Structures are given as structure tokens and as C-alpha cells.
Amino acid sequence: MNEMIQSVSSLSGVGPKAMEQLQQMGISTIQDLFEHFPFRYEDHAIRPINEVQHDERVTLQGKVHSEPDLRFFGKKKSRLTVRVLVDGLLVQAIFFNQPYLKKQINLGDHLVFSGKLDRNRLAVTGGTVKPKSIDRESGLEPVYSVKGDIKVQMLKKWIDLAFSEYGEQVKEILPEQLLATYRLMERRSALYHLHFPADLDTFRQAKRRMIYEELLLFQMKMQLFRKQRREEEKGNGKVFQEKEVTTFIEGLPFPLTGAQKRVLNEIIDDLSSPYKMNRLLQGDVGSGKTIVAAISLYANVLAGYQGAMMVPTEILAEQHLASLKDLFEGMGVKIAQLSGSARAKEKRETLQQLRDGQIDIIVGTHALIQEGVDFDRLGFVITDEQHRFGVEQRRVLKNKGLQPDVLFMTATPIPRTLAISAFGDMDVSTIDEMPKGRKPIKTHWAKHDMLPRVIDFMKKELGNGHQVYVICPLIEESETLDVQNAIDVHFQLSQALPEINVGLMHGRLHHEEKDTTMHSFAINETQVLVSTTVVEVGVNVPNATVMVIYDADRFGLSQLHQLRGRVGRGSDQSHCILLADPKTDVGKERMSIMTETNDGFELSQRDLELRGPGDFFGVKQSGLPQFKIADIVEDYRVLEIARQDATKLANSKAFWSSEDYRLLREALEKQGAFQESKFD
């Protein structure tokens, strides 16, 4: 009998009310309680004051050098100040709303206290007095997140109680062989020392063990889902003459890059195999993903299937339609667009032709698979430039009884660590090479007061017949302000460049107006395009050689890189000018990184380091897993190792049959690893 799944209510002191609140914190069983890890540790290791940074939280000790001075203000507010001699320096310790400390602190006392260090005033504020009995050895005080009426002290007491009553029953779930290979601490001790760190080294070992366990279980789940899906969705491979594909490739106006050839092989293999493709294709802006998509669509058509290409906007749909039509000129491939703005009659016809199989390739926004659209033989779906991958779309398709091969394309290169964690059950193809002959974009960082020089530079480029994008500041949460900004900048530039046609683009325009604006820029009727970020994705105007971004420090690195990628598409030298007066170090760092590298992968890795994985995709729905103890950025090496181990295990016989792996199998089963519906 596994006592670990006992309810926490079996602990003395946990009544029905506490139980309810614990449940809201995700704690129902003893095991949940054990796995409710501190979200951080306060480091009470007492350090010499000169090693402490400004604004850092510290614990200091010293001799009380003045009588505490207590002042009241407001109704219940108070401030107590006392001078303490620390390492030969007089430090002001300031305690808010703890008037009772006046009685406890006496001249000449030895005082241990913590708070935030203000180096300029040599003061520690927001402080608390530490009992002298604090765990001196590790100096680590676990800090827990709690909810409602649950207090940290209660939680600690229950965890302690749980260990004395049920600690013995914590079982090892990792197989002996892995424990030995990585010299991992045994599960029970690891759990214990995360809550009650004995000393720093033991704590680190405990953490290392639990991080590995968490990531291994995660990767195992991914591998198991993948295996299941492969078995469930096994069908017939697509049959076509590869020679015809090769002939098509040879007819292109340029040779494919090595990277394009490699990913194309991966895709073609998927198409021909009996397994359904579930693949992410990533490649920097301008690396030539579209042609790869086109060739794969062609192979799919050769095999007798219809294909769909989904993009985020109508502008992009039109652009793709045009380039696909170009590519397939005279080859008897029928391509159409399902456009939201088409007239009802036209739309009906398109739908009809899709249903009876006359259309080979359909291009459109994501509405393509959502609404009442029926296909004759849909074999392949490509999704371009979008961030919310996979799961949702797979479900929509599945619900419609369709199981086409699926390829997701993204121009936001994802650091490998994120790719393998967020898309653990997907295959990933990467184009990591640019077509030959591209001139790297030169990126410059200028302060806003240099605008007159920037305008001169624009004039020079315009004089050479080139075009210019100007992107307006991003105001978080307010599209109205974004639009206002764009209108202002448009006005300003129209005045500064009287001979030039300056276009204006923003999200409030009706989509026909957007199309017209974009079109005039594409055919060089307007030479400068002032825009909010709506212009960001995929647009291709090779004659544009300058990208100016106002308040560039408000944008994330990936977004800046995307914007920059709108230029540098022709054979002339392109420039990106970042106008920014960043106030924060992170802002400055971003500007420097932009001027230092054109490589999207390097940039995304640095972005990830700067922002952390949560922010990287902007939103929670990104599909990134939430880990309890592991950190995707810091622990990426472990993540990779865990993936290798998981792949090996999932494909081994031992994992499925041996007694050594029984507890691991059970742990995975509890997490729903053997049923894909959990994942959807």
C-alpha cells in the first residue's frame, strides 16, 4: 500500500478548512506536500559587507551602536532605526512596522538582521531581525509560496510532521543504473534536504537530483506520447516519383543551400513514411523557408493529395499565393486562396472546388481548417510564421477526422533547449545557413536626438532609389497610443521629406486600406512606410534598404530581429537604425546585442538569457511546460541529457518489462503519460 497518496488531512492540525486551502495550492496528498518545493531560499550566510551589491538582500551581523529610535506615522505605521557596527562600518538598520523590536534591541547587543542594502546611504531597509538560532550551517532559509490563510510557518510544520510520519515510505523511482551513472542522491534524502537543507553542498545535491528526475519524467512523457501517436496514426506513406521533385528543384532560379537540401530530405522522408509528420521547421528570417514549403507541397500533390498553407494575415496569404503561382507556372498545379474578403459567390466556388478536389493547394489564414471547409483528400498542412504551435491545430484537424502530415514553420529561431522542451514530441528541422550573396545588414544604435542625422541618411538612401521602413514605438497595452504615435511620426516625416510619398500603416486601418498601403509600398509608389508593428511578419519588399525603429528598447530582441529582417532582402547593402535611449541595463544590453549579431539563433539564445523562458514566448499559452524545480535556461544541459536518456529508455525492452523500472512506470502513469488525451 502506498501511503504517499494519503490525504494531507491525515496530518494532525490539518482540518477541513486548511485542507481546502491546501488543495487550492495544488496539495492534496502527502506526496504533493513533499513536492511543494520552496520557490526560493533566502541566503543567510553572513557575508562581509563589501561583497554585497547595491539593492541586494543581505544578512549582516554586528554590534548595536545606538539606542533604537522609534517613530510612528500614519495610523499603524512605524519606523525603527538603529545603528549597527558591521565590519567596522556604521550601518543604519531600518525596520518598518515592528515597534516591538524597540524592547528587544539593546545597546551593545549582537544583532543578526537582514534586508535590502542601500550602498549609498549605507542602510539596510525593509529588514527583519533574525533569531540567533538560524540554521547557521547552511544559512539557507526556504521560502514557500502560500495562499489564503495558510501561513509559511504552518506549512513548514506540516512538512516536518509529514516527514516524521511518512518519510520512510518515500520510494526511489529512478532505476539503480541512472542513480549510479549520475551519482544522484536517493529520493527520500533529496526531498528532505530541499525542505530542510543541512548544508549548502547537500542542498545542491538534493536539488540536482530532483531537477534530473523532473526533466527525465518530462522527457519520458514526450517520448511516450510520440510513440503512441506514431502507432495510432500509422497509415500509408505517400508515393511519388522523387525524380519529378528533383527536376522541379533543378528548374529553380537558384541552387538550394545545403541546409535547405537537408531539411527538405527530412520532410520528404516524413511524407513517404507511414508515420504522420509532426515537424517544426525553423530558420532565420530570409533563410528560404518558403521554397522548402513549396517543394514539399509539390511532392504532396504528386502523391495525389491536396495541401494547405496557413499564414497569420491576408497580406501574407496573397504574397504566398503570388510566389507559389510563380513557382508552379505551367506545371498544372491548381492553387487558390481562401480569402476572408472575397465575395460570397467566389468563396462558395472555392469551397466547392476544394471539396471535389479540383484545387491542389489552398492558401489562407488559420480560418482554413477551422470553419466549414471540406477537403477531398487533404494530405499536408503547413503553418507559417506562428507561435502557438501544434497541439491546438492537431486537435482541430483530428476532430474533423483528418490526419494530414503537419509542418510548422517559424522564423523566430528557438534556442535548442526550448525547442526540445516545448516541442519535445515534435521533430525539429533547422535551416542554419543563409543563401549565398546576402550582405549582412548593418545595425546602428542612435539616440533620439540624432534624428536629424538619421533623416539625412534616409534622404541619401531615398536619393539612390531605395525605400525605407519606419517602425513606431510600441506602447504596451495600448493600441490607440501606438496608432497615435504612428500618426505623429508620419506627420513629422512627411514634413521633413516633402518630395517623398510617405505611407502610413497601422492596425486600425480597414484591411482593404492595409492592402492598398502595403501594395503602394511594394510597387514603390510610396517610398517611406511608417508603420506600427503590423508590418512585422513575412512581408517582402527587396528594394527597401533602411529600417528605422523608434524607441527600439521597448521591443524584445526577437521582435527587433523580425523587424530588421524586413530589409536586407535584395542585393544592396541594408541598414537598421535603432533609435533608443534605454534607461535600463537590459535595454542597453539589447541594443548592443542587436548591433553585434545578425544571427537569429545566437540572438534568441541571448534573449532567452535576458528575459527568461516565461517571457520568451510572451504568453503562458506558448505550450512551455511549467516545471516545479527545473529551470529551462539554467538546466538546459540536464534537459538534453534527460532527453537522450528518455529516448533510450522508451525504446528499451527493460523499461517496459523489468522490475527495476516498475516504480518509474508507475510514476509516469500517475502523470498520465500513457494516454495522449491528457496532452491535448
Q: How far is CA 494 from the centre of its chain?
A: 38
For ligand ADP, the closer of residues 29 and 410 by Cβ is: 410
Q: Is 545 in the site for ligand ADP (CB under 6 A)?
A: no
Is 406 strand, coil or helix? Answer: strand
Cell of 457: 541618411
Query: What does 430 bind: Mg ion, ligand ADP, none (CB cut-off 5 to 8 Å by kind)?
Result: none
Residues between 409 and 438 that touch ligand ADP (CB under 6 A): 411, 435
Is 290 a binding residue for ligand ADP by CB under 6 A? The answer is yes
What distance in Å separates the CA atoms of residue 139 and residue 161, rounded to the nearest whole number? 22
Instruction: Mark 266-295 with x for binding to Mg ion (rule: CB under 5 A) and - for no binding.
Output: ------------------------x-----
3-state secondary structure at position 97: coil
Q: How far is the CB of 283 from ligand ADP (least distance, A)?
A: 5
| CB neighbour list of residue 662: distance below 8 Å, 6 or more residues apart | none
Dihedral sign, Cα of residue 646, residue 652, residue 653, residue 658: negative
Task: Record the cell numbers describing residue 54, joined without a space.
Answer: 547595491
- Closer residue to ligand ADP, CB minimum distance, 84 or 576: 576
Strand residue runs (E) in 194-347: 278-283, 306-310, 335-338
C-alpha cell belonging to residue 560: 527587433
Q: Which is nearer to Mg ion, 327 or 530 (CB)?
A: 327
Spatial separation of the C-alpha atoms in residues 190 and 171, rounded to whole Å:
11
Q: Which of 257, 296, 306, 339 binds ligand ADP (CB under 6 A)?
A: 257
> For residue 118, what is its C-alpha cell?
542601500
Residue 254 interaction partner, one of ligand ADP, Mg ion, none, beta carbon < 5-8 Å per kind: ligand ADP
**Among residues 283, 404, 568, 582, the one that binds ligand ADP under rule CB under 6 A:** 283
Q: Name the segment binding Mg ion (CB under 5 A); options: 191-199, 209-217, 532-540, 564-572.
A: 532-540
C-beta closer to ligand ADP: residue 130 or 320? 320
**Contact residue for ligand ADP among 124, 155, 224, 256 (CB under 6 A):** 256
How far are the Cα atoms of 167, 300, 329 from residue 362, in angstroms, in the given order? Answer: 60, 13, 16
Q: What's the min distance (Å) between Cβ of 292 and ligand ADP? A: 8
Query: Which of residues 219 and 260 has its CB atom nearest to Mg ion in the complex?
Result: 260
Distance from C-alpha of 1 to C-alpha of 10, rounded to nearest angstrom: 16
Give which of ligand ADP, Mg ion, none residue 286 binds (C-beta under 5 to 8 Å, depending on kind).
ligand ADP
Query: With binding defined as CB under 6 A, does residue 574 bind ligand ADP?
Result: no
Residue 289 binding ligand ADP, by CB under 6 A = yes
Q: How far is CA 671 from CA 220, 631, 674, in A?
A: 11, 20, 8
Cβ of 308: how many Cβ atoms within 10 Å?
A: 25
CB of 384 to Mg ion, least distance (A): 6
Q: Looking only at Cα atoms, what is the longest distance across the chain?
A: 94
Question: From the CB of 325, what's the least distance to ligand ADP, in Å?
Answer: 14
Residue 329 CB coordination number (10 Å): 8
CA distances from 310 to 287, 321, 340, 372 (A): 19, 11, 13, 15
Number of residues near ligand ADP (by CB under 6 A)? 15
* Contact call for residue 58 and ligand ADP (CB under 6 A): no
Q: Which stretch binds ligand ADP (CB under 6 A): 124-132, 181-189, 232-240, 280-288?
A: 280-288
- Give min distance, CB of 285 to ligand ADP, in A: 5
Picked from Mg ion, ligand ADP, none, the partner binding residue 38 (CB below 5 to 8 A depending on kind) is none
Cβ atoms of 518 and 510 within 8 Å: the answer is no
| Helix pair angle (585-596, 600-611), 10° resolution | 170
From the CB of 366, what's the least distance to ligand ADP, in Å? 17
Looking at residues 623 to 642 of the shown chain, list those that interact with Mg ion (rule: CB under 5 A): none
Spatial CA neighbour of 413 closest among 632, 603, 643, 591 = 603
CB of 289 to Mg ion, least distance (A): 5
Which amino acid is it at 585?
A: D
Helix and strand element counts for the chain (H, E):
25, 21
Nearest residue to ligand ADP by CB is 288
Would you say 290 or 393 has its CB closer to Mg ion? 290
Q: Are 31 and 7 in contact (CB under 8 A)?
A: no
Residue (30 or 522) nearer to ligand ADP, CB:
522
Does 254 sit near ligand ADP (CB under 6 A)?
Answer: yes
Nearer of residues 411 and 633 to ligand ADP, judged by Cβ: 411
- Pick from 260, 306, 421, 559 the residue near ligand ADP by CB under 6 A: 260
Exactly one of 117, 206, 271, 285 binds ligand ADP (CB under 6 A); that residue is 285
Report which of 412, 383, 245 is spatially closest to residue 311, judged by C-alpha positions.
383
Question: Which listed option, ligand ADP, Mg ion, none, makes contact with residue 435 (CB within 5 to 8 Å by class)?
Answer: ligand ADP
- Under a CB-based contact definition with an 8 Å cutoff, are residues 41 and 207 in contact? no
Minimum Å gap between C-beta 293 and Mg ion is 8
Q: Are 201 and 648 in contact (CB under 8 A)?
A: no
Task: Tell me how far apart the alpha carbons of residues 41 and 490 are, in angstroms, rounded to a whole number.
Answer: 51
Contacted by 62, from Mg ion, ligand ADP, none: CB < 5 to 8 Å by type: none
Q: Which three cell numbers stand for residue 30?
A: 502527502
283 binds, among Mg ion, ligand ADP, none (CB under 5 to 8 A by kind): ligand ADP
3-state secondary structure of 377: coil
Which of 64, 94, 105, 291 is in the footprint of ligand ADP by CB under 6 A?
A: 291
Please, which residue, 290 or 430, has the CB nearer to ligand ADP?
290
CA distance 535 to 664: 49
Regarding 558 and contact with ligand ADP (CB under 6 A), the answer is no
Helices (H), 84-195: 101-104, 152-166, 176-182, 187-195
Give the nearer residue to ligand ADP in terms of CB position, either 76 or 436. 436
Compute the least distance from the CB of residue 320 to Mg ion, in Å: 8
Write down the least CB distance from residue 605 to Mg ion, Å. Answer: 22
Tell which residue, 120, 117, 141, 119, has the closest CA to residue 60: 117
**Site for ligand ADP contains 282 (CB under 6 A):** no
Judged by the rule CB under 5 A, the positions of this chain that interact with Mg ion are 290, 538
Judged by the rule CB under 6 A, the positions of this chain that interact with ligand ADP are 254, 256-257, 260, 283, 285-291, 411, 435, 540
